[in-house]
Amino acid sequence: MIFIVVKFQVKPEKAEEWPQITKEFTEATRAEPGNKWFDWSRSLDDPNEYVLVEAFDDDAAEAHVKSDHFQKATADGGPMNSALVSTPKIISRQIDGEGWDEMGELDVN
């Protein structure tokens, strides 16, 4: 599985709009074959920072970045690109596993 975490620094005037700005892109990505999850969070420390946690089957990540919706969303002047302060920061790794495991250090009954 390809596991990816991306941090997006959004312009302050666009931060509240970010979920709507990324809605079409998010929905299209979640519908892609091989997408395991595509989840947004907002930083508790910086209200202008959004974090995306996503995962794909090993052979699906390349198709994602070549998709029309990815190209449209990230194009120069596109909806995501124009709302950002800087180039997003990314960690992308191939890892063993098929999904989320339970946390062994914290058992909730």
Structure tokens at 42: 């907002």
**pLDDT score of 57:** 92
pLDDT higher than 90, residue 23: yes
Q: What is the pTM of this model?
A: 0.91
pLDDT of residue 86: 97
Domain ranges of the chain: 2-94
Query: From CA 2, how far away is CA 93, in angstroms rounded?
Result: 6
CATH of 2-94 given 3.20.20.70, 3.30.1330.60, 3.40.50.170, 3.30.70.100: 3.30.70.100
> Cα separation of 105 and 109, whole Å?
13
Q: Whole-angstrom Cα distance, residue 10 to residue 7?
A: 9
At residue 42's C-alpha, the angle toward residues 16 and 59, to 5°, is 115
Contact 4, 90 (CB under 8 A): yes
Query: Model confidence at 3, in pLDDT bands (50, 70, 90)?
Result: very high
Task: Give the integer Cα–Cα distance in Å for 71 and 97.
Answer: 28
The residues, any chain, with a CB within 8 Å of residue 13's CB and separated by 6 or more, are none
27-70 pLDDT, tens per residue? 999 999 999 999 999 999 999 999 999 999 987 777 888 888 98
